[in-house]
Amino acid sequence: MSVTVIVGTQWGDEGKGKITDLLAREMDMVVRYQGGNNAGHTVVIKEEKFILHLIPSGIFYPKVTCVIGNGVVVDPAVLLQEIKTLQGKGFNCENLKISAQAHVIFPYHRDLDLAQEKNREAGRIGTTARGIGPCYVDKFNRRGIRIGDFFHEDIFRQKLEWNLAEKSFLLNNFYDYKVSYDADKIQKEYFEYFRAFQSLVIEESTSLINEAISKNKKILMEGAQGTMLDVDQGTYPYVTSSNPIAGGACIGAGFGPQEIDEVIGVVKAYVTRVGGGPFPTEISGEIGDLLRERGGEYGATTGRPRRCGWFDGVVLRHAAKINGLTQLAITKIDVLDALETIEICTAYECEGKVIEDFPTDLAKLEKCRPIYEDLPGWKEDLSKITDYRNLPLNAKKYIDRLAELAEAKVSLISVGAERGQVIRL
Ligand code: IMP
């Protein structure tokens, strides 16, 4: 077996891009299996920062086949821009393959995303406004347009017209969000994008992936967002519209669950969340600001400041259970270097009871208060350490505690954004 899945164990932004990039050099294939350009995976190579929204983070290695799987939703303008940017930096992207079954984001999806958020008043999700949710809605409602539809212009046109009529009516009349779409213009624009990357589109992405599995090739499934943003297992409705969890890889790439060998949970040493929704260990004030500034906690996609909080062991336990984590990759531990004392939430107190399992009922979750354990900080610069033995004792104790909470072994510790700033165990 040769399939490894990388998943975020929190609300996204755990540093999956860097971990994927690190592991990708040993891989034959990297596959994105869900989400779209709501993601922003950051990879720093020789002080140059790349933010990938759609293309798998293995693209920097020409020998690695990178697949945008059927479970991804693709905004063709964003994809083309990303390809061009990478080509401009010397990465030719010929190793990129795009599934014909991936769904396409249209302007009406972005408009619906904005209109629906405006309409929600209280309880806004705080989406990335990229049209992700409405595109998945069309997919599940069987109204979606897929990349493969570009091969059949008449079918494409029929689907486009139907969607434009439906969405114009909804936006203008229900949401009072004025739009006027021109089918010819949209078709022309979208076919121009498509023709520019047509040579990378493959009809049988699942065959390609399964063939690689049967040849025992090393394959990395790169999840976007995180477990707590999963539409089924996260803090619904404050979630994204796909399944970032490990099981989502089977659906969004098209292979059997028995093929998964390892599931690596990417665990940021503290927690952040961007957008609305519950966040039990959120901290405001000085320490929250310190984490945000030291960790550069601003959205890679939207630039929004991220909400910051102490490490939440209840969330990690939930992620370990839902994903079947076999390894942990701890990121951004260096951000905690400045702290005298570090708190870890190990359970919640809810109406006089101590609970260790993440509550699925949002009303109950809102009543939960974190129970913290204090751990002494290390007050030392970790950013240049590459050997586990050189870590200060208190940093080792912190790492051990996270592993204990997840009941999984730690295989990687990242101490900075650069490729080389990593400790392998
Ligand atoms: P959407 O995915 O744009 O529909 O947004 C739904 C929720 O998921 C919002 O709270 C977003 O801020 C959050 N979200 C979506 N993608 C990411 C991500 O890559 N990192 C962190 N949060 C995300």
Q: Tell me, what's the pLDDT at 406?
A: 93
Ligand 1 atom at shortest distance from the alpha carbon of 276: 10
Cα of 126 vs centre of ligand 1, distance in Å, is 8
Residue ID of nearest Cα to ligand 1 atom 19: 39
Burial zone of 353 (CB within 10 Å; 0-12 exposed, 13-18 middle, 19+ buried) = exposed
> What's the CATH code of the domain at 139?
1.10.300.10
Containing domain of residue 56, as a range? 3-99+201-264
Rounded average pLDDT over 195-223: 97
Number of other CB atoms surrounding residue 28 within 10 Å: 18
Q: Tell me, what's the pLDDT at 301?
A: 84
Examine the fold and report which residue of 215, 240, 264 is the final residue of a domain before the chain moves on. Answer: 264
Q: What is the pLDDT of residues 392-419, one digit of tens each?
A: 999 999 999 999 999 999 999 999 999 9
Report pTM.
Answer: 0.96
Q: Return the ∠ at Cα 369 (arms to 363 and 370), rounded to 5°.
A: 130
3-state secondary structure 335-392: HHHHCCEEEEEEEEEECCEEECCCCCCHHHHHCCEEEEEEEECCCCCCCCCCCHHHCC
Q: Tell me, what's the pLDDT at 1?
A: 53
My answer on whether 146 and 131 are in the same domain is yes
Examine the fold and report which residue of 217, 240, 264 is the final residue of a domain before the chain moves on. Answer: 264
Q: What is the pLDDT of residues 102-115, one digit of tens each?
A: 999 999 999 999 99
Active site residue 400: no
* Ligand 1 mutation target, pool 225, 241, 282, 307, most atoms within 8 A of CB: 225
Cα of 381 vs centre of ligand 1, distance in Å, is 32
Active site residue 13: yes
Q: What is the pLDDT of residues 37-89, one digit of tens each?
A: 999 988 998 889 999 999 999 999 999 999 999 999 999 999 999 999 999 99
Cα of 96 vs centre of ligand 1, distance in Å, is 25
My answer on whether 339 and 380 are in the same domain is yes
Q: Tell me, what's the pLDDT at 171?
A: 98
My answer on whether 82 and 132 are in the same domain is no
Total domain count, the chain: 3
Q: What is the mean pLDDT of the chain?
A: 96
Residues 6+ apart with CB under 8 A from 288: 282, 307, 308, 309
Number of other CB atoms surrounding residue 225 within 10 Å: 31
Residues 6+ apart with CB under 8 A from 42: 15, 17, 18, 49, 50, 51, 52, 300, 417
Cα of 310 vs centre of ligand 1, distance in Å, is 20
Examine the fold and report which residue of 156, 176, 196 is the final residue of a domain before the chain moves on. Answer: 196
Q: Tell me, what's the pLDDT at 65?
A: 98
My answer on whether 237 and 372 are in the same domain is no
Q: Tell me, what's the pLDDT at 410?
A: 97
> What's the CATH code of the domain at 254?
3.40.440.10
pLDDT over threshold 70, residue 306:
yes
My answer on whether 217 and 78 are in the same domain is yes
Residue ID of nearest Cα to ligand 1 atom 11: 127
My answer on whether 237 and 351 are in the same domain is no
Rounded average pLDDT over 347-370: 94
Cα of 376 vs centre of ligand 1, distance in Å, is 33
As a whole number of angstroms, the distance between CA 35 and CA 235 comes to 17
My answer on whether 272 and 258 are in the same domain is no
Residue ID of nearest Cα to ligand 1 atom 10: 275
Choose the catalytic residue: 41, 53, 109, 318. Answer: 41
Token match 């929250």: residue? 288
* Ligand 1 mutation target, pool 109, 227, 229, 304, most atoms within 8 A of CB: 229
Q: Tell me, what's the pLDDT at 122?
A: 78
Which residues contact ligand 1 via a Cβ below 6 A?
11-13, 38-40, 125-128, 130, 132-133, 224-225, 229, 240-241, 274-275
Ligand 1 atom at shortest distance from the alpha carbon of 39: 19
My answer on whether 211 and 340 are in the same domain is no
My answer on whether 359 and 298 are in the same domain is yes
My answer on whether 284 and 317 are in the same domain is yes
Q: pLDDT band for position 32 (50/70/90)?
A: very high
> What's the CATH code of the domain at 296?
3.90.170.10
My answer on whether 185 and 233 are in the same domain is no
Cα of 76 vs centre of ligand 1, distance in Å, is 19
My answer on whether 210 and 88 are in the same domain is yes
Ligand 1 atom at shortest distance from the alpha carbon of 132: 4
